[in-house]
Amino acid sequence: MTSTKFKDYPQEQIDAKLKQVEEFELKFGEKSVSKSWRRWCTDAKYRQNEWKFRQNIANWMEKM
């Protein structure tokens, strides 16, 4: 593990991803994956919880 503390992405990267989500939804309509990406882009707590989830999976895999 390289980091034990959550560090959020730069706002420019988050904005760029949100733009990709908007373009995807214009082309293909709203899908469950685009809804989750939109939430990831607009909710800092959601990003932090997603990070914690990935850390827990990595820790679990190291113990196996």
pTM attached to this predicted model: 0.82
Number of C-beta neighbours around residue 21 at 10 A: 21
In whole angstroms, give the CA distance from residue 15 to residue 5: 23
pLDDT (tens digit, 9 = 90+) per residue, 28-64?
999 999 999 999 999 999 999 999 999 999 999 988 8
**Can you give the pLDDT at residue 64?**
84
Cβ(52)–Cβ(6) below 8 Å? yes
